[in-house]
């Protein structure tokens, strides 16, 4: 699991599918401000997240603790 440090709120979805009537699926998110790649579950209110911060870290690292039923198979 990759720690995330993006403090920004604005993200854009990275989707696959949508061709020939197939449904689209969000596979990742991209921060609009710093262009950091984030997991598809980023910002999900149903997933459980926790933050850790080591001495001298500029910002806390956010990690996915327990994914919701929608994101459990897409853990990055």
Verdict on whether the full-model pTM lies above 0.75: no
pLDDT in tens, 38-48: 888 888 889 99
The angle subtended at Cα 54 by Cα 50 and Cα 58, nearest 5°, is 95
Sign of CA dihedral 38, 30, 42, 20: negative
Closest CA to 62 of 76, 74, 27, 72: 76
CB atoms within 10 A of CB 38: 20
Query: Quick one: pLDDT at residue 1?
Result: 42
Cβ neighbours for 58, distance < 8 A, ≥ 6 positions apart: 5
pLDDT of 4 above 80: no
The tokens describing 17, both together, are: 């599918």
């Amino acid at each position: 699991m990759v720690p995330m440090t993006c403090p920004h709120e604005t993200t854009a979805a990275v989707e696959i599918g949508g061709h020939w009537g197939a449904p689209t699926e969000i596979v990742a998110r991209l921060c609009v401000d710093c262009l950091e790649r984030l997991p598809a579950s980023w910002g999900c209110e149903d997933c459980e997240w926790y933050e850790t911060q080591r001495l001298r870290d500029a910002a806390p690292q956010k990690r996915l603790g327990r994914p919701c039923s929608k994101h459990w198979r897409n853990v990055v």
